[in-house]
Structure 1
């Protein structure tokens, strides 16, 4: 992975916390690893790295192991995160259900749970999240006291205040959970759970899940297109998620592609997701987009080669081509990855119909693949939500460096 702020140490006066986070980030993402390798990657002195690792070891966050012998002399010690030191819970909230995963510090899934929503609302989702946290604590009492944070991922856009909430809910449909972003809602949920709560939109969480657990590990910067009832994008830039100032970055589904086109939940008309989304396909097929059985029906009809679904794919393929072109021209990412709540071969079929893609400004190398289908699977959003909680606690950040007290 290319060197970035997250993997570079500093000698600034306020840098102790940042350097600890940088070293831990390297150990967490690349361990087991030798201390000399950490020093080389971070540009910190070997003595500084040794001191930081010793402190992390004393706190029980990392553990040391002898490396493999190579030639004469003793093998060097290698350091890795102690997996069971702590865990986080990630929740994928969609308009039909909530999926929960608990992961240890190495990203291993140690518990999973799910439940159906009584209604597609923030209140119903909050209640189910609280119930699933209680289920985790009952099922894993050995890790209950080591649960340090909650990651939430849901369809956006999120409202940042009451005025914005009123605007978004005046025309919103069930594809969004606008109230999730309200500070009062997050504070209330955090208070009830007695844990920090981190929020991401579902596309950003899926991008983080793909970055940590899937094909995204191969790229320093990429965009993830989340194909669901709506259409969103998540961005990993130089190894870090870019959430936007209100955690609404990547709402590509609300880019206008048809002037005066179909009315959208955001209040505009002709938005991309009104044509390119599973909600749009449900409308085309006469299926209820709020019914859980609709996705299964689409998958079954697709597998059977339903001509109406294939015709829809042909019609919306230009929109897919346009979305990919827009992202490439704006961000120049290493790759674009697609995933979502529908089976991967459905997405692959849609991508084939979108070919050939428009050229990038910089020509691709011979045989280079620009567009990929994600490999983290249907759990990518929940995995990413869990990873978001880990990132909030452990990962380096500009704010932590600049704003930390002297």
Structure 2
């Protein structure tokens, strides 16, 4: 089981309207990834969101990833996600920036794809029906690899057309495309990802036992994959969760009870209006419910939160390993001070990751090597 971080340019509260504090938030996230690169983390994923105030100001993640490609040495940098709707990003531009990121990172880029966060976001581009982007994704995901494989690309599709032959440049690093992923939210989409031979990005707020049907659907799909979209199968399922790892377990639990801990999730419920929501979901702008220690312990026991000392967190992680998760990714805790986030990342990286990830080579690197030959 491998580990990563998820970053999205989260700028909550009044800071969202202060360009200086917005700037500081971006630079803090850069520091977190540089530290993660030095402390055994293998992946850093970056969102692409548009016009989602407070929740995510990271609208051009390729810029941050290009910078980090030269500021890091080992960690893989992933788009979580790049929007494939031609009304948001033309397919040629997607092909170009993916290949460029693959070059400047020297093969450390992970191409995560998707369709956008919800009706508010896609309305930025005058898209009034979120379901209409599904057919666009289905068309574009097959065509971008074709752009990399020919010097005379043309296409007449339902959602975009290129009439005259063009050589789309550059081609990916070493002429083999980066690992392909797609954002997934329910068993059918996990199964579809598997049958297409691409990785599943399970962005979720569910305890691990609720993710098992998704993981099983994905692995079943992988077993049924006969014609992968890419040149190789990316057999990989990633899920997200939260971690609070500190030397003092009581301190970790106290942090989990801070008043604003649920604020990020209230923004998820506000903007991701296509996601199913539990009855207890916070309603923005109401203040989220403050958790007590008993509730925190219940969340830990249910697999909805990893919290405690490195030893406690390692024990809690065993349920994830048993579930068949290939990669576990943590959003940077929204209620941590920057020095606390750095401490958590360093402690987890140096004291926990090695218990579960003993392979120095990234799983996706090994899969890509089946085509490159090493």
Select the structure of larger CA radius of gyration. Answer: 1
TM-score of the superposed pair, with normalisation by structure 2: 0.30
TM-score of the superposed pair, with normalisation by structure 1: 0.29
